[in-house]
């Protein structure tokens, strides 16, 4: 199954997700890319959700993901290129599938998003069927589940050679790409509409190559 955001999908994901929380934005991206046809994406294990988001990233914007990090030791700013396909492979080889209890899903996180204190632990215990009554035990088990779903990358500082592990927020990365692409696309629509009086739908239905050629005339 090839998950991909076409022009209409980029705009649909952005429009649905813009006013929402990060959790809902990730789901909006999956829906818009056709990665939610075999299931409700809210029920996907978080690692599987992120693997699909990485496939969408690679197929829609390319596999190379520019990223930035700050060295915790010397505070040097570092720029690097991550590879969405490599990250998806790392997730596929992770141990999140063998966790007991079952892996965490977006629906689990949404269920506790508004809760505080004991209510968080009580809700997670009930949802996951955790066989523990001690709050510390429940907290540890859910922390382990969250860690199993996390994607991290090893970074070495170019300045001081310090090694550290950075956790990646896959959905936030892809959301930033979608936001950038939306601003670019709507800027193109605005310029072409002003120049030729065409409708938004007409402009977006042009192939990228034809749109680029008209833009060249308008913007030169
Ligand atoms: Zn450093």
Q: Under the phi-then-psi rule, with left for phi > 0, alpha for psi from -120 to 50, and beta for the rest, what region is 161?
A: left
Is position 147 within any domain? Answer: yes
| Cα 78 to middle of ligand 1, angstroms | 9
| Cα 89 to middle of ligand 1, angstroms | 28
**Binning pLDDT at 50, 70 and 90, where does residue 215 land?**
very high
- Distance in angstroms (rounded) separating the CA atoms of residues 82 and 167: 13
Is position 2 within any domain? Answer: no
H/E stretch holding 181 reads helix 170-196
| Cα 47 to middle of ligand 1, angstroms | 30
| Cα 67 to middle of ligand 1, angstroms | 16
| Cα 82 to middle of ligand 1, angstroms | 19
Note the pLDDT tens digit of each residue in 50-96: 999 999 999 999 999 999 999 999 999 999 999 999 999 999 888 78
Q: What is the mean pLDDT of the chain?
A: 93
Helix, strand, coil shares, percent, the chain, to 5? 60, 15, 30
* Mean pLDDT, residues 167-195: 96
Q: Residue 95's pLDDT is what?
A: 79
What pTM was estimated for this model as a whole? Answer: 0.92
Distances (CA, A) of 137 to 22, 31, 95, 146, 191: 28, 35, 20, 14, 58
Is position 181 within any domain? Answer: yes
Per the structure, the count of domains in the chain is 1
| Cα 165 to middle of ligand 1, angstroms | 13
Is position 204 within any domain? Answer: yes
- Distance in angstroms (rounded) separating the CA atoms of residues 184 and 41: 28
| Cα 161 to middle of ligand 1, angstroms | 6
- Of 76, 125, 74, 80, residue with least CA distance to 104: 125
Q: Residue 135's pLDDT is what?
A: 84
| Cα 107 to middle of ligand 1, angstroms | 38
Q: Residue 131's pLDDT is what?
A: 84
* Mean pLDDT, residues 115-120: 90
- Distance in angstroms (rounded) separating the CA atoms of residues 50 and 178: 16
Whether the pLDDT of residue 133 is over 80: the answer is no
- Distance in angstroms (rounded) separating the CA atoms of residues 58 and 35: 14
Range of the domain at 193: 7-219
Is position 174 within any domain? Answer: yes
Report the SS3 class of residue 35.
coil
Report the SS3 class of residue 120.
helix
Q: Residue 181's pLDDT is what?
A: 97
| Cα 69 to middle of ligand 1, angstroms | 10
Whether the pLDDT of residue 97 is over 90: the answer is no
Is position 175 within any domain? Answer: yes
**Binning pLDDT at 50, 70 and 90, where does residue 196 land?**
very high
Q: Residue 32's pLDDT is what?
A: 96
């Amino acid at each position: 199954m090839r998950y991909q955001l076409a022009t209409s999908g980029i705009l649909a994901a952005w429009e649905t997700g813009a006013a929402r929380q990060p959790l809902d934005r990730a789901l909006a991206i999956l829906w818009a890319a056709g990665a939610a046809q075999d299931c409700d994406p809210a029920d996907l294990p978080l690692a599987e959700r992120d693997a699909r988001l990485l496939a969408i990233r690679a197929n829609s914007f390319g596999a190379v993901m520019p990223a930035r990090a700050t060295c915790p030791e010397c505070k040097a700013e570092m720029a690097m290129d991550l590879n969405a396909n490599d990250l998806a492979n790392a997730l596929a080889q992770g141990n999140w599938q063998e966790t007991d209890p079952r892996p965490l899903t977006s629906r689990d996180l949404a269920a506790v998003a508004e809760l505080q204190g004991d209510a968080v632990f009580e809700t997670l215990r009930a949802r996951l069927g955790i066989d523990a009554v001690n709050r510390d035990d429940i907290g540890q088990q859910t922390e382990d589940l969250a860690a199993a779903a996390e994607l991290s990358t090893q970074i070495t500082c170019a300045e001081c050679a310090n090694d550290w592990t950075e956790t990646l927020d896959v959905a936030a990365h892809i959301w930033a790409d979608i936001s950038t692409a939306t601003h670019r696309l709507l800027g193109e629509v605005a310029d072409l509409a002003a120049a030729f009086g065409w409708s938004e739908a007409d402009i977006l239905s042009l192939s990228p190559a034809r749109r680029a050629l008209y833009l060249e005339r308008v913007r030169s």
